[in-house]
Each structure stands twice: as structure tokens, then as C-alpha cells.
Amino acid sequence: MRLEMRARRRALPPFRRRLANQAIVRRITTLPAFRRARSIALYWPADGEPDVRAVAATAWRHDKRVLLPVVSQQGVMRFAAWDPKTRFRRNRYGIPEPVARRLRAPATRLDLVVMPLVAFDKHGNRLGMGGGYYDRALATRGRRTTLVGAAFSCQQAPLIPAQPWDVPLDIVVTEAGPAITCKVMRASAVPSQGAQQ
């Protein structure tokens, strides 16, 4: 599934991708959770992921704090502040990360986390790239933290098997139709896949 869904999102034609990105950004910035949030984590797109960086401009206009993920050499993901003056360096995957001297924030301090995914289902189950970075970072998230998956509609699957350590999404935003408010199934009710996502 991971290989097929990655191929699907990379195969989107440039014109369609541009329109889809604009629709996804528009839908994220109109979410009630976005309007309430004071601190928002986004991501830098890679491997054909939706480009949500334009969300930052709207957030900055409304005096919201914007952060990006930073992965340490030990594989721990935290979040560093991003503003128009931020300097970047590429991590081991070639993805730009803020060069932050300030303390990096854990997910428990964030109001809204917008994250990429390879595939999703309507229950909020998310298939990632396989490293488990978001699942580990968000395992202890606070009740106030809303998790939003950003995806193209072609990435939806009927059902993604979940593991106990998988952190479900609250909302999925695609270019097609309104945001999906996920009805989370208990891990015991979903067939096991046997491998961490």
C-alpha cells in the first residue's frame, strides 16, 4: 500500500497538484481548530506530499506561532519555530529544517499539528513513511492538540490496519469536499498489520 500510494501522489499532474494544494490550504485555514490555535506545526513537503506551507502566511497574519518538525540524530521529533527570518539546513532525508538555537517544543505544547501521510481512512488511521516519528512525538500529546492529516483524495484507503502505538488523526483535509472528521476505531477493533507505521 505504501508504494502504491506514494506513486499515486507523485503522479498528480502539476496543474492539478497546484489547484489541489490551494484547496487544501484554504480548507485548513478555515477549520475552527485553526482559528482557535495559537501554535501550529506544519511540515516541509517531500516525495509528492501536499504543499501546506502557504498556511504559514495566514497564521503569521493572525499572530499565530508556526513551527516545523526537527528530527534529532537519535530519531526524536520535536518542533522548532519558523518565521520569515528562519535559516534552514537539510536533514538526513534532504528535508529543510529550521536551524533553531531556541528550545525545541514537544507536541504537547502545540494546539494544531498538520502532518503529511501516505494513506488514510475515514477512521483517522494514517499510514506514514515508516519511521514512526510522528507516532512517537505525538504519543503524549495534550488534549488540546488537534491532529490534521493533509492528503490528496487519491490517498484514501477503505481501511488501514492500526497498531496500539499508532496515533489517530482528528481531521483529514483533502482537495475534495469538506474536511473529514474522523471517527476513531479502537485499535482492538482494527485488524493488525504487524508492523509499525
Q: Which domains does the chain have, with CATH numbers?
A: 2-189 (3.40.50.10420)
Residue-wise pLDDT for 168-195, tens only, equals 899 999 999 888 888 644 333 444 443 3
**Distance between CA atoms of residues 187 and 55, nearest Å:** 32
Say yes or no to pLDDT of 99 above 70: yes
- In angstroms, rounded to a whole number, what is the distance separating the alpha carbons of residues 138 and 110? 10
Tell me the per-residue pLDDT of 37-63, one tens digit each, with 9 for 90 and over: 999 999 999 999 999 999 999 999 999
Closest Cα partner for 180 from 163, 155, 161, 197? 155
